[in-house]
Structure 1
Amino acid sequence: MAARPGRPRVGGERELLSAYLDFHRATVLAKLTGLDDDVLRRPVAPTTMSPLGLLRHLTFGERYWFSYVFAGDEVDVPQALGDQDREWQVGPDESAAGLRAEYEAQVVRSRAVLAAHGLDDLARRPPDGEPHSLRFVLVHVLEETARHVGHLDVLREALDGTTGE
């Protein structure tokens, strides 16, 4: 498995939460490494979930929570349009490398949003009208990414037998 950043045992809240999110982000990408595009787009029965579909979902999740909800940016987010299916779809002309680059670019944007604001700052566009702090957004994206790393564990093992943290 590709190298991933360390997880500190001591540090401030922002440092620890950010480090753990970065660890899980790197794990997502590591679990995609070594498989060709055709294998990565193949769903694993009994689900219709594919590794690339999951990567697309995580990209839109980062974009939705950090850029759209918190920063208030006008960005493409199917979640805001009620188009949940689109965030899992991967077209035949989309490559694993392209989807990976899109995810990595969104992570850079998410990190910039996080670095520019305090954890107690409030989202500009909370989805339910209730206040959402940047702390909530960070913890939510960390939880969502970690949960989907577990899905990628199962998908990867079913596709080629690779296991590991």
Structure 2
Amino acid sequence: MAEIAIDPTLGPVVNRSADERAVLESFLDFHRAVLLRKLRGISDADATRRLVPSATTLAGLVKHLTEIERNWFHILLDPAPGETFPTTEEAALASFTLAEGDTLANLVAGYERACARSRELAARFDLDHVVPHPQLGEVSLRWILAHLIEETARHVGHADILRELTDGSTGAL
């Protein structure tokens, strides 16, 4: 059987027969990378432009996903004293809101730092490690990874639509 050449940026394909953790982490990293690709070559003006009836923008999506990384990995796995998981719809909506001085470059750098920290924290624990969650009772690291795959992929789909509306670019790669 001939060896098939596989693009090494396609972690889920490269890890198609790997263990559970490698599969989960490669799917999450793949969607994280697609988000960053959706933001390449976009100006701050395009990143903050509203193209749909909601307040969703490319810049807002990266800001929101940065907060999602912090909430699910940083706060649940290694909370700072007094730090709590946000539990209101208002907190979720606020994470999309851009502040004065938010630039796409700064937001992307913050997202990359948050993802790197999330990877470091997750590496400390087994998939069966369970932490308390204020609304769900307990969640395992396995569940957190699966949830972040879903959450990130869903918002990357939004980014794909917004990028297509901005300049016609489509696709994961």
Query: Normalization by structure 2: what TM-score?
Result: 0.86
Aligned-residue identity in percent: 38
Which residue matches 1:99?
Answer: 107
Is contact 2:11–2:29 with CA below 8 Å preserved after alignment? no
**d(CA) in 1 for partners of 2:40, 2:82:** 28
Which residue matches 1:126?
Answer: 133
Structure 1, unmatched stretches of 5+, are none
**d(CA) in 2 for partners of 1:101, 1:31:** 14
Distance 1:87 1:118, change over 3 A: same
**d(CA) in 2 for partners of 1:129, 1:44:** 34
Instruction: Report how far residue 102 of structure 1 moved.
Output: 0.5
Distance 1:103 1:74, change over 3 A: farther
Say which one has the larger Rg.
2
1:154 alignment partner AA: I
Which of 141, 152, 165 is equivalent to 1:158?
Answer: 165
Instruction: Report how far residue 85 of structure 1 moved.
Output: 2.7
- Residue correspondences, number: 162
Structure 2, unmatched stretches of 5+, are 1-7
Which of 89, 94, 113 is equivalent to 2:97?
Answer: 89
Which residue matches 1:21?
Answer: 28
Query: Normalization by structure 1: what TM-score?
Result: 0.89
CA RMSD, 1 decimal:
2.0
**d(CA) in 2 for partners of 1:30, 1:74:** 35
1:85-131 superposed Cα distances (whole Å, 9 cap, x missing partner): 320011231111100010000001100111000111111x4122512
